[in-house]
Amino acid sequence: MTAQGSRRVLAEFAYEVPPVERGYTNQTLYVNLSDNTITAKPVTEEMKEKFIGGRGFGLWLLWHAVKDDTKWNDPENEIIISSGPCGGITQYPGSGKSLVVTISPLTDIPIDSNVGGHFGPLLKFSGWDALEIQGKAEKDVIVVIDGQNGRVTIEEADGVPVDSHLVGHWLIEEMAEKEEDRYFMSVVAAGSGAEHTRIGCLNFSFYDRRRKAPRFKQAGRGGIGTVFRDKRIKAIVVKSPPVRGDSNRPADPERIARAGLRLHKEIHDYDDQQNRMRKRGTPYLVQIMDDYDLLPVHNFKFGSHPDTPKINGDVWEGRFSQGLPDGCWYGCTMSCSHAVDHYTVRTGPYKGQKVIVDGPEYETIAGVGSNCGIFDPDAILEINFYCDTYGIDTISFGTLTAFVMECYEAGILDKEKTGGLELRFGNADAAIELLHQMARGEGFGKIAGQGVRRMKEYFVKEFGADPQFVQDIGMEAKGLEYSEYVCKESLAQQGGYGLTNKGPQHDEAWLIFMDMVSNLLPTFEDKAEALHYFPMWRTWFGLCGFCKLPWNDIVPPDNAMTDEPAKIPAHVQNYVEIFSGVTGKEVTADDLITMSERVYNFQRVFNIRLGKGLREHDAVPYRSMGPVTVEEYESRAERYDKQLRELLGLDPEKMTTEEKLAALRKYREEQYEKLIDAVYARRGWTKDGVPTLETLKRLGIDYPDVVEVVKRHL
Amino acid sequence: MIRVNNRDEVEWEEGMTVSDLLERMRYTFPHIIVKVDGEVVPREEYPTRTIPDGADVRVIHLIAGG
């Protein structure tokens, strides 16, 4: 873990660290790497009122930074990191998140990605509600925010390593003057894989006092790490004054503490009976998704596999080090950030080293595991470690590798085209080598690292692939790879993925159980209401600095008796109390939704401004709606035949499988179009997906430049 | 015959308990609410509460997902 590097200051900015007041410092930090400008910008009351913080601040700042034709690698594109007014409280679990916003190299529209680790809160306690980085450096740099001494520097970083686990260690050892400094430092880094692909992620560190090492959480989605390396940033470091229980200076600390106590008690009393987040974390979902035929297997062809018990939560509970306080922010008693210690790397440049592997989380297990037909925990750990340190998103890597494997098995690819990699389902060694190629910018890895959308075009043009087939099986929408749930049997979740702002990521809406299992959304209007409420509700976490997990991965025992148990009303009320308690502004549960609606509609208009964001851009691949191949249909023939009989009045006994596939497809594609109509109407959008002027006025975001974008499409 | 979630017809058996039904449906998710003919069944009664023939059973799954 040793590295040699040197730092040379290129630009310096001195500032007075302001006190935090009611969750805000009231200023943001602007850094331009093209001309080495560093300056402070005020946070206006309008920003706080309309955009709240986090993702809202990111989108607002980005809107004013870019032009209508800005691409991801133009200098004016920015990376903005912000937590939010509640980020940094230590009394309520899951209150340390950061939101990162940029124009994505995968989608060419704004991406927002949420991440744990300590950076966002420590940035605030160092005096800044957001960090806004624009421009491109000529040589590799690091940006240092020293909140202990009121100093921001851009520094040349000769010889400093690029891969996250190395640069994270190196910077903390280099910059910590005493042991306690390590606790209040956080590093943001990408890696060599982010340089050569469009699927780069960012790693956000937090210092693990028990393990005496930095650990990392990932802002995974949308290629933000790719933008980071394109700007020639190796790392951003924050060194904060010590964090105290009142560092966020809330208006009413006791109100927050009361809400926190309620949730701490629930977690203590019920987590072992419910999701076992403290022992397993998100891997508890692997077996459950398999049980409900929702676990992606072989590029989302199937929803379950007999080998799932080899990679389910039981396995990971045994592999994770137990009894450690694995919270990724102070005070989080849910503590689901588990890790495998002393893993011996078996391939690549770090072969033989013993490392900490953070995770794997559910999405990683399902993505690089079952979806690629890999049911070997060690292979999953190897891929997890390298994805993280190379700065590659495990979800995009898993989904695109599964796509490659299906193309290989369908004869579109062969060993000659892949440079010798036999990329069949289950071939972990080939998947790992593909990952190393991405980091080196070599061979087939360089092609695959462009993502599913660009691979589809490439395979058609260069290899003569059937355009319809690769479109049907390539699991991307808007250019972003799908996250790891099979949604064929849930129309609402097809919309939950397709009718998103940033692309198919489940953090907007996860409605499969409500829809497919519980049958609580039988009409289009019911589905549309859910596709209004839940995306708005989940958006709100990202405005304020909250993690979603403590909302619904633990529930109070009397939740079943409430009118709307799916919303977890007691926890919604906790958030009302906390937001009011932090900011001093009295709000209701409905107000939280309105806050999100403003930002969500603003983001939709932002997409339209950049040439996307219309109905045609909400199209999804057919693999997300239904069976594409005969093999898929026949694997669930009883289910599909029943639907043909009951929904379409057809007699499957008299039809070939191809005829049945065609009939089912026609029906399901029509259903999706009807769903779009219902959702757009509920959201206050036109039939083409454009927020109406009335919607913008109601939300108070009818700014002249926003209205101008919309008017072009009315 | 019993009806589950206002959609699925499930063959009834004498002495069938809530736990039996959950096992047959492979409903393994822990965050569920079970109602039999409109009445919420406490979790601790799942192994003993029998379901009458013709019952309207709702097994409401709360939201999951990462």
Mean per-residue pLDDT for A39-51?
97
Kindly report, residue by residue over A399-412, the tens digit of the pLDDT.
999 999 999 999 99
Distance of CA A98 to the CA centre of its chain: 11
> What are the structure tokens assigned to A421, written together?
């990699």
Q: Tell me what the pLDDT averaged over chain A comes to.
A: 96
Reduce the DSSP state of residue A207 to 3 states and report it: strand
Banded model confidence at residue A561, pLDDT cuts 50, 70, 90: confident
- Can you give the pLDDT at residue A688? 98
- pLDDT, residue A566, reads 87
- Is the pLDDT assigned to residue A675 strictly greater than 70? yes
Which chain A residue is nearest to residue B32, measuring alpha carbons? A560
Residue A434: give the domain boundaries.
Answer: 280-319+338-481
Q: Are residues A420 and A499 in the same domain?
A: no
**A475 belongs to a structural domain:** yes
Domain harbouring A645, CATH code: 1.10.599.10
Any chain A CB within 8 A of the CB of B5? yes
Whether the per-residue pLDDT at A668 is higher than 70: the answer is yes
In contact, A488 and A625? CB cutoff 8 Å? yes
> Does position A2 have pLDDT exceeding 50, yes or no?
no
Within 8 A by CB and 6+ apart from B64, the residues are A285, A288, A510, A512, A513, A552, B29, B31
Whether residue A271 lies inside any domain: the answer is no
Nearest Cα neighbor of A79 from A112, A52, A106, A39 is A112
Give the strands of the sheet with A98-103, arranged side by side: A37-42, A27-32, A130-134, A78-82, A98-103, A110-115
Cis peptide before A360 (omega within 30 of 0): yes
The token duo for B19 is 């736990």
Would you say residue A422 lies in a domain?
yes
The CATH number of the domain holding residue A221 is 3.60.9.10
CATH of the domain at A308: 1.10.569.10
Q: What percent of chain A is predicted at pLDDT more than 90? A: 94
Helices (H), A441-509: 443-448, 452-463, 467-473, 491-498
Per the domain annotation, does A47 fall within a domain? yes
Domains and their CATH numbers in chain B: 2-61 (3.10.20.30)
Question: What is the C-alpha to C-alpha distance for residues A144 and A131, in angstroms, rounded to an integer?
Answer: 11
Q: Is the pLDDT of residue A3 over 60?
A: no
Chain B residue numbers touching A361 (CB-CB < 8 A): 66
What is the DSSP code string of B23-53?
HHHT---SSEEEEETTEEPPGGGTTT-B--T
Model confidence over A232-286: pLDDT tens digits?
A: 999 999 999 999 999 999 999 999 999 999 999 999 999 998 889 999 899 999 9
A239, A271, A291 — which closes off a domain?
Answer: A239
Is the residue at A264 inside a domain?
no
Alpha carbon separation from B61 to A191, A287, A292, A564 (Å, rounded)? 40, 16, 12, 12
Q: Are both A202 and A305 inside the same structural domain?
A: no
Q: Is A456's pLDDT higher than 80?
A: yes
Statement to judge: residues A476 and A548 lie in one domain: no
Locate the chain A residue with the closest alpha carbon to B7.
A519
Higher pLDDT, A236 or B31: A236
**Contact assessment for residue A352 and residue A281, using Cβ atoms and an 8 Å cutoff:** no
Tell me, yes or no, whether A290 and A405 share the same domain: yes
> What residue type is A242 in one-letter code?
P
pLDDT at A1: 44
Q: Does A458 lie in the same domain as A495?
A: no
Query: Are A223 and A306 contained in the same domain?
Result: no
Question: What average pLDDT score do residues A559-586 get?
Answer: 94
Among A239, A271, A306, the domain-final residue is A239
Q: How far does Cα A306 stand from its chain's mean position?
A: 29
Asked whether A139 and A156 are in contact (CB, 8 A), the reply is yes
Mean pLDDT of A179-206: 97
Pairing state between β A27-32 and A37-42: antiparallel
How many beta-carbon pairs below 8 A join chains A and B? 74
Q: Which residue of B has its CA nearest to A287?
A: B28
Check if B1 contacts A (Cβ < 8 Å): no
**B59 at interface of A, judged by CB pairs closer than 8 A:** yes
d(CA B66, nearest CA chain A) in Å: 7
Contact: A568, B28; criterion CB under 8 Å: no
ipTM above 0.90, yes or no: yes
DSSP designation for A553: S
Please give the Cα distance from A403 to A582 (Å, whole number): 46
Do the chains contact at B63 and A534, CB–CB below 8 Å? Answer: yes
Q: How far apart are CA A514 and CA A495, in angstroms?
A: 13
In-domain check, residue A258:
no
Nearest CA in chain A to B39: A561
**Domain boundary residue, one of A462, A481, A500:** A481
Examine the domain organization and report whether A567 and A645 are in the same domain.
Answer: yes
Assess whether A590 and A621 both reside in one domain.
yes
Residues A475, A508 within the same domain:
no
Do the domain assignments include residue A253?
Answer: no
Same domain? A469 vs A583: no
Three-state secondary structure along A518-533? CCCCCCHHHHHHHHHH
Nearest CB partner across the interface for A363, out of B6, B30, B66: B66
Q: Is residue A254 part of a domain?
A: no
Which residues of chain B does A512 touch, with a Cβ-Cβ cutoff of 8 Å? Answer: 64-65
pLDDT at B63 over 80: no
**H-helix or E-strand spanning residue A288:** helix A285-291
Collapsed DSSP state (helix, strand, coil) of residue A291: helix
Between A275, A517, A520, which is nearest B30 by CB?
A: A275
Chain B positions in Cβ-Cβ contact with residue A288 (cut-off 8 Å): 28-29, 64
Q: Nearest CA to CA, how far is B36 from chain A (Å)?
A: 13
A187 shares its domain with A218:
yes
Query: Token pair of A182, please?
Result: 């390590």
CB A277 within 8 A of CB A554: yes
Rg (CA), chain A: 24
Number of domains in chain A: 3
CB atoms within 10 A of CB A422: 13
Is B36's pLDDT higher than 60?
A: yes
Pairwise CA distance, residues A391 & A393, whole Å: 7
Distance CA A273, CA A256 (A): 26
Q: Residues of A near B (CB-CB distance < 8 A)?
A: 273-275, 282, 285, 287-288, 291-292, 361-363, 483, 485, 506-507, 510-514, 517-520, 522, 534, 552, 555, 559-561, 565-566, 568
Same domain for A454 and A413, yes or no, is yes
Q: How large is the angle between the packed helices A164-175 and A377-390, nearest 10 degrees?
A: 60
